[in-house]
Structures are given as C-alpha cells and as structure tokens.
Structure 1
Amino acid sequence: TGIPDASKNLINAEARFFRGLAYNTLATLFGDVPLVKEPLNAPKTDFTRTPLAEVNALIEEDLLYAGTNLPDVGGVGAANNAAGKPAGRANKYMAMHLLAQAYLRMDKNDKAEEQARAVINSGKFELNKARFGSTSMPGDAFSDLFVYGKQRRSQGNKEVIWVQEMEPNASVVGGTQNNPQQRRLWGTGYHNVTGMRVADSLGGRSLGRLRLNNWVLYNLYEQNDMRNSSNNIRRTYYYNHPNYPNLMGQQVPKTASDTVTNLGAHTTKWYQFDPKDTFGYAMIKDIIHMRLGETYLLQAEAQFKQGKLGDAATSINALRDRANATPATAADITLDY
C-alpha cells in the first residue's frame, strides 16, 4: 500500500534475481530440489523434490523478469545506478550473466550465447587493458582489477558486473563482522620466516593453507602471459624486517619442505591489509562475483557447444589478447581448453 508500481517492480525484480540465483545454485548441485514459491507461515517437514524441469522453468522466468525490470548501471565512477540507488545494488546485467550460466546448464546454448552477447554488446562494460587507480604501485592491467579500493564500478573498475561490497564494522557502524577465509587461506605465512614481517604489499597476515596446483604454476600460462606475472602470482619473497639489516632486501631462499605454508607460490587476488586489524582476522576486501572476462568465457562455451569453433576462439581471444597470450585457433577449442 502506498508503494508506486515502479518501486514494486524494482523490489520484485531484485527478489527474483536472488531467488533465481539460489535455485540455480541448488539445481547445479543437486538437480531435483523442493520448489517453494510462496512464503511459509508455519513449520513444514514434508518437502518433496520437484522435477528439475520445473525448477529450471522458475529460474528462467525469474531471471528474464529481473533482466527486464532491474535498473541499468550508472556510469563508471558514479555512486548510484540508473534508478538512483547505490551502485552496488542488483542490475539487469547480473541477471543476464547468470541466465547465460543457467542456460548452459540447461543445454540451451543458443539462448546462453544470446544472453552473454547482450552483456558484452551493451557498451556498459570493458575489459580492462590499461593501468588504473593504483599506478603508483607495481602492477598491470589485470592485477589492478583486484586492488582493494578499486574493485567497484563506482571506484572506476569498468570490467566488474557484480561486486559484493564489504564494509567492515571497524569502519562502518553496522558493517560486516563475518570472516571470509580467502585471504588467510590463499596467502602465505611468510611472516613466520625469520627476517620477514607483515606487509601490506605482501597481502597482510595470511596462513598458507591452500596453494595453486602444479599445472597452474608450471603449465597453464606462457611466460609472457600477464596473468602469470609476479603481480598476479607471487613466487619470490625478499627479507623486509629492519631488525635484520644483514638480510634486508635479499631473496628468501626456498626449501623443498615448504611449498605451501610460508613461501608457496600464490595468487595475489586476495591481498589486503587493514591497519585497524594487523592480526588479519577480518576480511575487508570486496568479492567480485561477475566480471566481463567471465561473460566472454560463457559466450565461448555456448558457441563451442553449438559447433561455432571459430566464434568461440574469437571470444576467448578477447581475453588472451589482453593477457599478451598466443591467440587460440578454432582447432584449439575443446571444452577443456
């Protein structure tokens, strides 16, 4: 009552986007799942699985509605979207990108290509091909996408489609207190090595519980591939503790017994440092859920599944060109490429 129809449509579209997201995740993991379309006002214990075809129909309906009724994005750097709401709220391209994923799972590959192409051709997003926002620090066009404080569209990142914006409660009243593990797991415990101390340039304090596998480290990328640069995968460390002047600036030697915990090679995407939390308990960094680079890959997969190998190579090469990698050919394209 009293809510304008336009506002109702916007609220409905945002809710249906998240319902579509939730059910697509469930369908991907489990196939047939209970389908709940109306709010429950009492306990229910007799759920039964709904056939996947019905679940898929609801996902498609929800995301088509969201793609039509969610607002457009604002300009790069703008604080608000086209509806005057904060730029971090759901936008129509999030629904299109997600629907492309859902259509691939449903084997509706022509429709998946159509949705991905709509995002790519919208003119709202671009693959980042030049340094931005953090040019005073070492980096490249790819690593800049993941720098803390430059991950949002409102912060100048023109490639991102959906960013989960983290606002820690140490900085914002009512901010998040949860503790995502990405930085602590993927970073290393370099600070445990004598002659080393915690540094923001090394991602803050981490624990080194996961590492990239050998195929990624040694076989996935060509030597000149930007994604393989030291800005994106750290492989070497240098002593940085001023209390050890005889070691300062020298490379820390690696040991065969430690390829994970303290000196393992790792992705730098999760680097962050919060001077209010030097122990490194909380995660303050935003989480990028969708970006244009991934949309190109969705389009390429849809094209491959339709036998359009040349088109798939063209889609993939948009990313390989940005990374300075050898272009793919139609003969290269397989589902495992």
Structure 2
Amino acid sequence: MKKIFIILGIILTTVSSCSSFIEEESLSFVPADETYKTAKGFQLLVNSDYARLKAIYGGDPWLFCAGTDMYAEGRTPEPAGLSQYTQLIPSATGVEQQYNSCYQQIQSVNKTLYYATVTEPTTSLSSQIGEARFLRANAYFLLVQTYGGVPIVKEHVTAPVLSFTRNTAEEVYTQIIADLDAALASVGTATYASTGKVNKRAVNDLLAKVYLTRGYETFGTAADFTKAATYAEAAIAGQKLTLAFDQIFKPGNDLNLETIFSVQYDKNSTSTSPSTLGNNQFYYFSSYLGGSETKGGAPLRSYNLCPTGFALGLYTAGDKRWDATFMTTVYENYYDFFRKPTELATLKIKHFYEPSWFTPADRTAKQLELSTRWQTGSTVANGYHNWGTYSAEYTVTKNIDYTTIPVKKFDDPELTTPSSTGPVSTRDIIVSRLSETYLVAAEAYLKAGNPTTGLDRLNEVRKRAGVANATLAEFNIDYILNERGRELLGEYHRWFDLKRTGTLVARASAYHYKIKASNFVGVGGALKILRPIPQQALDLNQNKDFPQNPGY
C-alpha cells in the first residue's frame, strides 16, 4: 500500500505571503506544466517551497513552546491541551498545525523534485534540488519529533489519496538523513546573509540536530552523538561568536553573519493584507501592555507564553543577555528604546523591572535614580517591579497590564507596527543561529563521552554573554538546558529540547505553575510525551488500522 498522507484540500492551500528573497509571481496564463519545465518556472517552484515555511513557523507557536518550564500563560488562556496536557486529545486546539503545514511543505517539495527530472537543465538545478530536499527533511524532522513515526511521502501526488499507513520513527529518521546527505552534496556555499538560500552550513547544522536527537531514541546509538558533534563542528566552521548579543536580534539585522537559517519576510509582502500576513512571533512571550490605542504606543500583546519565574531566574549579574532579551526599562513611549537610542538617558520612564541579583542597597539606589524620571502617572508603587513580582505565575496574584516583563528581542519598531497591522510582524524568524550550534556541539560531545570539549563549546557561549565559565563538575544535561534557556528564550526550541532529553515531565511539572507530573498520564497509564495524531487526519484516513500515539 502506498504510504501517502493527504488531507483533502490541504495541498491546494496557497502560500499567504512572500519572502524578501523568495517571491512567487504569476506573470501569464501559461499552463503550469509548461512553466515548470522552464528555468524561470522551476525557480518559482523552489520559491514556493521556501514560502511554505511561513505556514510552519509564522502562526501561533504553541507546538514549539507551550507546556514547558520556560513559558506559561498570564491572563490570556493558552490552549489547555498543549499547555497543560490534561486536556490534550487528538482534537485539541493546535494539535494539527504542524501535521498539516509540514505535509503541505512535503507535497510542495515532492512537486519540485518531480519537475526537476523534466525541467530545463541549468547550472543551478543541482543546488535547487538540494535546497528542496533540505526543506523536506526539516518538515519531517519537525513531524517525527512532535508525533513520532508518520507516513513517508516521496511521490508527487496529483489526485487525493485517502488511505495511508504509518512509518516508524526510525524509518522517518532514515529518510531525513538521506535527504540531508543528498542536500549536503549539492547545495552552494555562499553565505546565508548574502543569498537567503540553504547552504552547506545550514545542512550541516540540521544534520547535527537530527543525529543528536536520534541518539536519544531507543534505536539510537552512541555513534549518533559522535556524528552530531562532527556535523556541528562543520557548521561552526571555526567561526567565533564575535557579534554582540544585543545585535543578533536588532531590528533590521536579522540576516546577520551568525544567522544560519531563517524564515524571511518583507514589509512589502504583507501590503495586500497587513492585518493577517507576516508572523506572530513578536506577539508572544510578554505581558499585555495596554495595546496601541493607549498612551505610549505599546505593542499589542497576547499575555500568554509569558516567562516563568524559573526562566527569569536563570540569569545572573553581568549576563548581557538579560537586558538584550527583556525590556527591563519601559519608556513613556514603548518604542523609544529603538527609535530614540541616543536619548534614553533623559526619557521619561513608565516601568522598571528589577533583576534577581539586586540587593536592598541596589533597590534603594535605583529607586532614587528613577525618582525624577517617572512619567506622569508612574511611581515606585506602580512602575517599579520588585524581583518576584513579574513572572507568569505572579498574574494569579496581580493581573493587570505590564504585570509580566516584556520580551523585546522580537519587537518590530516599524512605524506601521502594530497599530496598523494587528498582531503581526515582518521581521524574520531565526530558526538556526551560530550560538545554538555551539550548544548542540556541547550536548553532543557530552553524550559522546567527551565532556571536556563539550564544556569548551558551551563556555564560548557564556564568554560572549559576559559571565564566568561553567566548570566540568557542573556540566551536565541540566546545565546545558539552562544555558539554552538563557541564550534562546522565546526562540522555537524549548519543547523539542525537553522532549529530546527526556526531561519534559520533570521540568514542566517543577517550573510551570499549572502543570503537575500527573497531567502527563494518559490512557492506559502511558505518558503523553508525543503529541497525538490529529483527529482530522484519522477521520479522513480510510485505513482504520492507523495507530494513535500512546496515551491517547
């Protein structure tokens, strides 16, 4: 039986927006078959493969971040199933998002690979095929981590197939690696910042993550960790972390020399529907700030996926990532931090969030410093937030605007954002960057039995952050996870990190104020670690022997 997954109608979904590098445009009424057999038409197919990334990453990030140790809801509820597990069932809100969008990506790539066999030969054809296979591998990697074994689809399907069978997770990993090996042999080497295209560094980086993750599986081996370290080193390629941390996410600098792979956006690409296009990353990981209609032009916020007390407490004195990640000082006009950087010393202040390391003397000195700078209506009583009074769980005690600290690293200070565009941004979503690759290498070396080299890689990240080196005595998986938390807060990795390392239940139940270990116990006592196969997929599948995941 063909192992094909198609939800009727999904493959007909059109791409909703275009990338700054990747744009698809129909210039005539030439039949698609004829168009794709030309060099220009085939490039349109490759462009559409890239554009599919926006459906995977650009919407609500529940499947990447909800229900972990780092983020919890404030006063706006998160989908209860994905965030708390007790109500996690196959029809729960958000469960289907990656299943659908990743298979859209896979079908798009399959179409590209089909036409690659009949299109006009060009010098760029081989690299284009490699780029497409990378994108298919990335989609399958998201699927296998989230749902376990899923159907492997390699055929270009032109008519609905409503019966499909399930491959094992081991078979899916084999397919992912096959795609990436082929991609590595054919993609180019030009820097990502200059082309916006998949290159050998991006492939090496993804191979490192794939082997690292497979190594933890029951069918994984010690050799997987060794290979992960090797591919991570190839992706690092000797490059040091020389870019200041506050420059990595500086608006307008998303395509910097440390960006390995990203989902690219352009302001012009949202012009046809500015209230719906773009991405939602800046909308989360912060408190509700009062909205753009209030004085101060605060960005619209969802007030969920707010940092937990555990997440905030990961930072220590001198860590440059604290001020670069959070809007620790909110000025009278929120975006003045970006728009008036030379005037910050004199601008009026609306809120200040005290770090964990402040002593009573530090607090007294800071409050004295701010005494002449409060904006009208702000005071120590309502504008100064002591440590312990602005985490996600604190909203149970006090539930008003600015109760949790804003995350600024994804802010989009364009004049049209957010009052004219709603909860969307045209900043890129950085999927992979160099410091994360250092941390992948650190974990791979540790698991491969070479902790000394692993510690060196982790300390390169800490060196850039301005904090003391970790020691060999404290270097373990928990320490790596904490370092990933500090370095990558808000980036789309956390649920995968905890699931990969087998720490999801322990960490989520310890640090998320709405999760207990018992929340994970599902049908038959099985733990709900994988997300369930979506009910929609099961209902449309005429093969009723397709198995659901344990616990559901």
TM-score, normalisation: structure 2: 0.50
Q: 1:88 aligns with which of 180, 192, 196?
A: 196
Which structure's CA Rg is the greater one? 2
Change (3 A) 1:253 1:192: farther
1:146-183 deviations in whole A, cap 9, x for unaligned? 0111111xxxx211111221113477679995253222
Query: Does residue 221 of the first structure (1) align with residue 315 of the second (2)?
Result: yes
Q: What's the counterpart of residue 25 of structure 1?
A: 142
Opposite residue 100 of structure 1, the aligned amino acid is A
Q: What's the counterpart of residue 181 of structure 1?
A: 280
> What CA distance in whole angstroms lies between the structure 2 residues aligned with 1:14 and 1:36?
18
CA deviation after TM superposition for structure 1 residue 320, in Å: 0.4
Alignment of 1:67-106 (within 5 A): 67-74=184-191, 78=194, 87-106=195-214
> What CA distance in whole angstroms lies between the structure 1 residues aligned with 2:241 and 2:329?
28
Q: What's the counterpart of residue 147 of structure 1?
A: 250
Residue 195 of structure 1 contacts residue 239 of structure 1 at CA under 8 Å; is this kept in 2? no
1:72-94 deviations in whole A, cap 9, x for unaligned? 12386x4xxxxxxxx11221211
Residue 290 of structure 2 contacts residue 401 of structure 2 at CA under 8 Å; is this kept in 1? no
| SS in structure 2 of the partner of residue 289 of structure 1 | strand
CA deviation after TM superposition for structure 1 residue 8, in Å: 2.4
Query: Does residue 198 of the first structure (1) align with residue 297 of the second (2)?
Result: yes
| SS in structure 1 of the partner of residue 426 of structure 2 | coil
> What CA distance in whole angstroms lies between the structure 1 residues aligned with 2:453 and 2:125?
40
| SS in structure 2 of the partner of residue 35 of structure 1 | coil
Opposite residue 183 of structure 1, the aligned amino acid is F
Residue 152 of structure 2 contacts residue 172 of structure 2 at CA under 8 Å; is this kept in 1? yes
> What CA distance in whole angstroms lies between the structure 1 residues aligned with 2:292 and 2:134?
47
Opposite residue 376 of structure 2, the aligned amino acid is L
Q: Which has the higher contact order (CA 8 A, sep 6+)?
A: 2
Report which stretch shifted further, 106-115 or 275-284. 275-284
Percent identical among aligned pairs is: 28
Q: What's the counterpart of residue 271 of structure 1?
A: 411
Q: 1:48 aligns with which of 160, 165, 176?
A: 165
> What CA distance in whole angstroms lies between the structure 2 residues aligned with 1:44 and 1:32?
19
CA deviation after TM superposition for structure 1 residue 249, in Å: 8.2
- Could you list the runs of 5+ residues in structure 1 that have no partner in the other structure? 79-86, 130-140
CA deviation after TM superposition for structure 1 residue 192, in Å: 5.9
Opposite residue 289 of structure 2, the aligned amino acid is Y
1:76-113 deviations in whole A, cap 9, x for unaligned? 6x4xxxxxxxx112212111111111101221111111
TM-score, normalisation: structure 1: 0.80
Opposite residue 209 of structure 2, the aligned amino acid is Q
Q: What's the counterpart of residue 264 of structure 2?
A: 165
Change (3 A) 1:176 1:117: farther
Change (3 A) 1:215 1:60: same
Opposite residue 224 of structure 1, the aligned amino acid is G
Change (3 A) 1:271 1:194: closer
Q: What's the counterpart of residue 241 of structure 2?
A: 127
> What CA distance in whole angstroms lies between the structure 2 residues aligned with 1:253 and 1:113?
45
CA deviation after TM superposition for structure 1 residue 47, in Å: 0.6
Residue 309 of structure 1 contacts residue 331 of structure 1 at CA under 8 Å; is this kept in 2? no
1:258-288 deviations in whole A, cap 9, x for unaligned? 4674241132111112323441512111111
- Could you list the runs of 5+ residues in structure 2 that have no partner in the other structure? 1-117, 216-223, 335-347, 351-373, 480-552
Residue 292 of structure 2 contacts residue 418 of structure 2 at CA under 8 Å; is this kept in 1? no
Q: What's the counterpart of residue 132 of structure 1?
A: none
Query: Does residue 328 of the first structure (1) align with residue 470 of the second (2)?
Result: yes
Change (3 A) 1:189 1:52: closer
> What CA distance in whole angstroms lies between the structure 1 residues aligned with 2:156 and 2:208?
28
Change (3 A) 1:173 1:331: same
Change (3 A) 1:228 1:206: same
Change (3 A) 1:301 1:176: farther
Q: What's the counterpart of residue 112 of structure 1?
A: 228
> What CA distance in whole angstroms lies between the structure 2 residues aligned with 1:43 and 1:162?
32
CA deviation after TM superposition for structure 1 residue 187, in Å: 3.7
Q: What's the counterpart of residue 452 of structure 2?
A: 310
Opposite residue 134 of structure 2, the aligned amino acid is F
> What CA distance in whole angstroms lies between the structure 2 residues aligned with 1:246 and 1:142?
30
CA deviation after TM superposition for structure 1 residue 224, in Å: 0.8
Q: What's the counterpart of residue 82 of structure 1?
A: none
> What CA distance in whole angstroms lies between the structure 2 residues aligned with 1:302 and 1:97?
12
Residue 187 of structure 1 contacts residue 271 of structure 1 at CA under 8 Å; is this kept in 2? no
> What CA distance in whole angstroms lies between the structure 1 residues aligned with 2:246 and 2:471?
26
| SS in structure 1 of the partner of residue 303 of structure 2 | coil
1:182-233 deviations in whole A, cap 9, x for unaligned? 222224333469994116xxxx343433311101212x1211111122x322
Give the helix-richer structure, 1 or 2. 2
> What CA distance in whole angstroms lies between the structure 1 residues aligned with 2:148 and 2:141?
9
Q: What's the counterpart of residue 330 of structure 2?
A: 237
Report which stretch shifted further, 32-41 or 5-14. 5-14
Change (3 A) 1:234 1:144: same
Q: What's the counterpart of residue 247 of structure 1?
A: 376
Residue 126 of structure 1 contacts residue 159 of structure 1 at CA under 8 Å; is this kept in 2? no
| SS in structure 1 of the partner of residue 161 of structure 2 | coil
Residue 240 of structure 1 contacts residue 248 of structure 1 at CA under 8 Å; is this kept in 2? no
Opposite residue 128 of structure 1, the aligned amino acid is T
Opposite residue 30 of structure 1, the aligned amino acid is Y
